[in-house]
Each structure stands twice: as C-alpha cells, then as structure tokens.
Amino acid sequence: MKTGKVDVLLGLQWGDEGKGKVVDVLTPKYDVVARFQGGPNAGHTLEFEGQKYVLRSIPSGIFQGGKVNIIGNGVVLAPDLFMDEAKDLEKSGHDLKERLHISKKAHLIMPTHRILDAAYEAAKGKNKVGTTGKGIGPTYTDKVSRNGLRVGDILENFEEKYAAHKARHDKMLKALNYDYDITEVEKKWMEGIEYIKQFHIVDSEHEINNILRSGKDILCEGAQGTMLDVDFGSYPFVTSSNTICAGACIGLGIGPNKIGEVYGIMKAYCTRVGAGPFPTELFDETGAKIRDLGHEYGAVTGRERRCGWIDLVALRYSIMVNGVTQLIMMKSDVLDGFDKIKACVAYKQNGKKIDYFPYDIEEGIEPVYEELSGWNADMTKFTSEDQFPQAFKDYINFLEVQLETPIKIISIGPDRDQTIVRK
C-alpha cells in the first residue's frame, strides 16, 4: 500500500526568509499543511490577487483549495491573537472552521506569560534578547518544566486549571516586583478560548499518521529560521523552540523515516530582527538601501530588520543540520540595482581564517567576502529563468557551488505569481 510523504519547509537564516509565500505556492502539491513549532511571534506574509495577508499562528496553506491545515503539538497558541487572526481571514471570505485542525497537545500562551516575558526582559537590562513580547519563551519554559496549560485542557475543568496556573505566575511576578493589570486582556483571552472550541480539536499525532497511511502527502511549515534554533542557533539570541527539520518530527509526532524533501529557504542577502550577532551586517548606505528596497520591517513587530550580505558560512551550517535537499531563494529582485554583490565565504576569527560556523560568533568574527558583478536589470516581470541576466545566472551558479545544493525555486517579487521554478 502506498503511504504518503512528508516534506519539510523551513528557513535557513534568522527568520523572515519568505516561508509563507512558498508554502502558499507549494500547497497545491500536498493534501495537508502542518505547522510544527513557534507561535504568534512568527509573521508569514502572503500577497495575491491584490490582497496582503499576515499569518501568525495559522498555517500558510489555508488559502489553497480547501486543504486541511493543522496546528501541531509543537506550536504555542495565544487564544485571543488566534481569534483576531482567524476572524480577519473569515472577513476576507476564508472559512476556516472545517479546514483548520488544532492539536490537543499544543500549549496555550496565557496573559501572564506575556507579562512574564516583559518582566524577564526588563530584568536583563542591557543583555536583553530582543523578544517579540508575545509570551513565547515563558510558555515554552512552562512546557519543559511540566507546568504547561494545553489546548486539550479547555475541554474539561478549565477554569480550575487556569486559576492554578495563573496563581503560580502571580507569585513569580510578585517576586520580580513587577506591577501589572491583565483584566481587559484576560477577558478577551477567555473569549478566544470559547472561539477555539468551534474548531476541530484533535489528537494530531494520530490524525497525521492516519493521513500518511491513507496515501496523502503533508507539507510541514517551519517558523522563524535555523539560526534562531534553541540548540543550533546563535544562542542565547534565539527563539524557544527547535526550528530545524528535526523539530517537525517532535512538533507533529512524525517518525524521521517519513521525511522526504527538505526545502531550505534563504534570501539572496541576509537580515535579522532584534539583538544578537550578525557577522555580515551592513551599517552603511548599502544596508539602508537593501532595507528600503526589500521593505525589511517585521511582519509582527514592525521593527526595522538589520540587513547585510549573504552569509554562506552560516548557510552551509544550516544546510548540514537540516539535511536540506533543495534551496529556494527569495527576494532576488531586491539586489536588481546593485553594481557589485558580495557574499561571505569564510570568517576570520582572532586572525585565523575559518570556513565553519563556530561555537561563538558574538565577538571577534570578521566576514571574508567574494565580490561578484551585479545584474542591473528589473527581474520582477520575468516569467522564465531563460530571461535571467547572465550576471544573475552566475550568482546562482556561484551559490550552488558554494552550498553544494541545487537552487530549485527563485522568487522575484512578493506576489505568488512572481515565482520561477527552475528546470
């Protein structure tokens, strides 16, 4: 009997690579799209038919052909924010209640988790991580310390369970001398709890494996990026979950032998939001130009993204830890107007040249660049790779040689139609 396949799509840099658009483009090839980690700190932007949508917790396959979308057990869910997001989509004519399934084992972000997030950041002073303030870290902390509140808990004796968790958080905040009032937020949060009950609340690991046994295919959607992985990213300036391919197994209950293709998404340059090391960051007019042309502002926070040249050392590392089988390059068009393009091919650390991603990139790292010719052509209207300028073809070839992985899809604009699948 033919079993279905599981392909994984994830970011290879510091997030914001354009995963939402690619999930939307690839969804017609799959029966189900499943989100496996992260929470409303992830903003996946999609543009099509003159409309722009920002998804935070809902998988990006929700717009395509009535496919089932699953919020997996590895996701943390804020009921109030989820309710706002879902209702906005419903206003746009997208009925979610039959197509969106939520895992019982997904953990809930409580109002006090957000307060704790702010309190912890304030206590760190100049050592702030630069969180989105959505309560992600404290929720995952409760999860691993076996103190979490889960979606399945809303089905029975929920008020009692909620009160116990809230009381524990109150004690923690009192110890931090942090004043707060969650009255209004809590009221809306409880409305969100009732709203979630209208959806399919499922044992997602059973559902997913039954889907595979029936011969159907699943696309797993990652959030954030590999360099923000809690184990393999630029720690401690990372998110609180495993953003790499292995996280799909943990966040959905899939055996590693089920994984097929691993799509690694990267920008033609590099960006980062918030604090933390960024070896190729540009502090000059070039960095500002990339930010302006690429509209590099956070989809969730609105914060300016830090911009720099592509970092092939970090990308080789990401490809290795994820087992990437094919690359997808986003925002190639942003570099259309540059005479010269640079790519970091190695680092200098304490005067020594290295070609691997080291334990600590906080200090003493200097990028070693190779310079390539720019293509100075507007590619946004192109419909085939045959139209690519030779200099851009050379850039693609250079990246494929350096990364030892084929680039199969190239994005030349924000719309789903501005996507070229290479032969």
Q: Is 113 exposed, middle or buried (0-12, 13-18, 19+ CB in 10 A)?
A: buried
HSE of 72 in the Cβ direction (CA atoms, 13 Å)? Answer: 27
For residue 70, give the nearest of 225, 227, 216 by alpha carbon.
216
At 110, list the tokens. Answer: 């409580």
Which of the residues 16, 117, 153, 311 is marked catalytic?
A: 16
Is residue 16 part of the annotated active site? The answer reads yes
Query: Among this protein's residues, is 44 annotated catalytic?
Result: yes
Long-range contacts of 158-167 (CB under 8 A, 24+ apart): 158/193, 162/110, 165/110, 165/112, 166/110, 166/112
| C-beta atoms surrounding 102 within 10 Å | 25
CB 155 within 8 A of CB 201: yes
Q: What is the DSSP letter of 199?
A: S
Q: Per the residue annotation, which of 7, 24, 31, 44 is the catalytic one?
A: 44
Q: Report the alpha-carbon distance of residue 258 to residue 400 in Å, rounded.
A: 27
Provide the 8-state DSSP code for 383. -
Burial of 160 (0-12, 13-18, 19+ CB in 10 A): exposed
- CB atoms under 10 Å from CB of 74, counted, come to 29
Widest Cα–Cα separation across the chain: 66
Cα 231 to Cα 128, 129, 239, 385, 386, distances in angstroms: 19, 15, 10, 37, 41
Pairing status of strand 310-311 against strand 340-349 = parallel
Which of 72, 13, 19 lies closest to 42, judged by CA?
Answer: 19
Burial class (CB in 10 A: 0-12, 13-18, 19+), 354: middle
Q: Is the Cβ–Cβ distance between 300 and 132 less than 8 Å? A: yes
Residues 6+ away with beta carbon under 8 Å from 98: 200
Residue 90: how many CB atoms within 10 A of its CB?
Answer: 12
**Residues assigned a catalytic role:** 16, 44
